[in-house]
Structures are given as structure tokens and as C-alpha cells.
Amino acid sequence: MLKLDEIQLRLLREVADLHQVPEGAYNIRANGQSAGRQSTANIEITPKQEVSGLEIRIRPGTKNESVHIPVVMTQSGLTEVVYNDFFIGEGADVTIVAGCGIDNCGNQDAQHDGIHRFYVGRGARIRYVEKHYGSGSGAGKRILNPVTEVYQEEDSTVEMEMVQIKGVDDTRRTTLAELAAGAKLVVRERLMTHGSQQAVSVYEVKMNGAGASADVVSRSVARDDSFQKFDAKLVGSAPCTGHTECDSIIMDRGRILAVPGLEANHVDAALVHEAAIGKIAGDQLIKLMTLGLTEQEAEEQIVNGFLK
């Protein structure tokens, strides 16, 4: 493939663990252009005509295959909105790895807004991994505003892993999901913000069918002067179970706002929200210092473990 430079290759490693051309289906987007694309017998990737983006169609019953669609940007001043639609056939079981890395050395903002829609067929199962990463020393911001919409048919399962650990200045992540009977959604979000970064995560999960379940858990660390907002709303309109959790460490002058939202429209909707925000416990630091670590080393270990 792929005429990618060293910085773009580094970004690819950060967001998709890719060291070479991935196996299976993939599309790699670099500075607004496709830098490589491959479909397989069961997974077809085609570009959209009217807007920027892809249609990814996964045939019913496809098992143990993967799709990689990473995005890398190294051009200051580039702003793009990309629409990717995934159609996952009945009974399929696949892993989808997305993610966006921005290296901005210039003075203009670089922004990627990915709108991902998942239509998950009956009994299908997907694991979706999305990592965000920013680097570069320019004054221009690195901005990511992903929108994820998930429409789950009966008895389907979606596991989402959202990771943003470093370097993204401004992000607003919106995740909307609608679950039919027996559908299951599991979200694990890990987030760390530094400097004056801002990160907002908004979730709205509608459980519309009997036996639907949702579990949305965010673990986050806010350092320096950064700000995070975790706004998770569960709506239960049938017998269902829902759980959201925001577990956060604040350091320095970091700020975190957790906004629980539970809406039960059915007497058998069981919804739970948990939130805990606080600084690193003093006895955790002392314990690791009694093992010979400095206070700073102890902090790093605690934060790394927390976000692992």
C-alpha cells in the first residue's frame, strides 16, 4: 500500500496497533484521501458518492473477520466530516477497529468529525474499538467530534471500546443507541485529558424491547486545567436492565462533571447509575512509596492501572 510518511505510520500504530497492512478488510484514510482499501469475500467496502465516507457491508453469518478503518491527519488546517455506515448481517461476528490520529504541527486547527452508523442485524455480534490520539507541537488544535449511532436488532450484541489517552484538544463524543428485544450493548470508555483540553461524552441509550441490556462504564483522569463532562442517559421502555458508571480521578486543577440520566418508562425497567470522582487516595500513594517508588512514580502507576 500506501504512501504514508513516518508520522502517519506512527499515528496508525497509536490508533489501530497497525504495523503493516492489516489482514482482512480495511480502508486507510490519510489527509482526506484513501491511502489503501481492500474488501474481502464477506466484507465489502465502497465509497459513498454524495458525501465523504464509506459503506461497509458485512454478509450474514460472517465469523471471525475484522475491518480496520483508521484515519490519520498530518495537515494543519484540514477539516473534514466523514460518514461511515456499517451494515452487519444476521448472525455475523466481527471486530471493527476505527480510530483517528492527528499530528498538527501548524497553527491552524485540524478537525475530523466521524459519523458512524451501525445497523446490527438479528443475533449479530460486533466488537468495535475506537482510539483517538493527538500529537504535534503546533498552536493549532486537534479536534475530534465523533458521532456513533447504533441500531441493534433482536438478540444482537455490541461491545464498544472507546479510548482517548493523549493529545486531543477538544472532543465531543456523542453515542446514540436503540436496542430491540434481547439486544445487549456494552461500552467501556477510557479517557485522559491534559493541559486545557476539553472532552464531552454524551450517551443516550434507548432500550425498546424486552430483555434489552446496556452497560456503559467510563473511567477517566482529568489533569492540569482540563475539563470533562460525562452525560449518560438510559431510557428503559420495556423490561430491561441498564447500568452506567463514571469513575474518575481528578488531579491538579482538573474538573469533571458527571450528569446521570435515567428514564424508566416501564415498571420492569431496572436502571442504575453510579458516579465517583475524587483525587488519588493518599494511602494509595503511601503504599507504593513504601515499595520504593517516588510520589510521581506512584501517581503514574495508579493512573496507568486505573486506565488499563
Interface residue list for another protein (CB under 8 A):
219, 247, 281, 283-284, 286-295, 301-302, 304-308
Q: What are phi and psi of 84, to 5 degrees?
A: -115, 125
Question: Least Å distance between CB 293 and another protein?
Answer: 7
242-272 per-residue burial string, b: 16 or more CB within 10 A, e: under 16: bbbbbbbbbbeebebebebebebeeeebebe
Question: Least Å distance between CB 281 and another protein?
Answer: 7
Amino acid at 143: I
Q: 30 vs 298, which CB is nearer to another protein?
A: 298
Q: 92 vs 221, which CB is nearer to another protein?
A: 221
Q: 270 vs 281, which CB is nearer to another protein?
A: 281
302 bridge partner residues: none
Asked if 158 and 128 touch (Cβ cutoff 8 Å), the reply is yes
Q: 17 vs 247, which CB is nearer to another protein?
A: 247
Question: Least Å distance between CB 163 and another protein?
Answer: 14
Q: 158 vs 256, which CB is nearer to another protein?
A: 256
Question: Least Å distance between CB 257 and another protein?
Answer: 21
Question: Least Å distance between CB 219 and another protein?
Answer: 8
Chain position carrying cell 465523533: 146
Question: Least Å distance between CB 254 and another protein?
Answer: 18
Instruction: Identify the sign of the CA torsion 217, 53, 81, 78.
Output: positive
Q: What pairing do the DSSP bridges indicate for beta strands 269-278 and 240-250?
A: parallel
Distance CA 234, CA 253 (A): 30
- DSSP H or E segment with residue 236: strand 227-236
Q: 267 vs 291, which CB is nearer to another protein?
A: 291
Strand boundaries in 59-156, DSSP class E: 63-68, 71-73, 79-88, 93-97, 100-103, 110-120, 125-135, 142-144, 147-152
Question: Least Å distance between CB 216 and another protein?
Answer: 17
Q: 196 vs 304, which CB is nearer to another protein?
A: 304
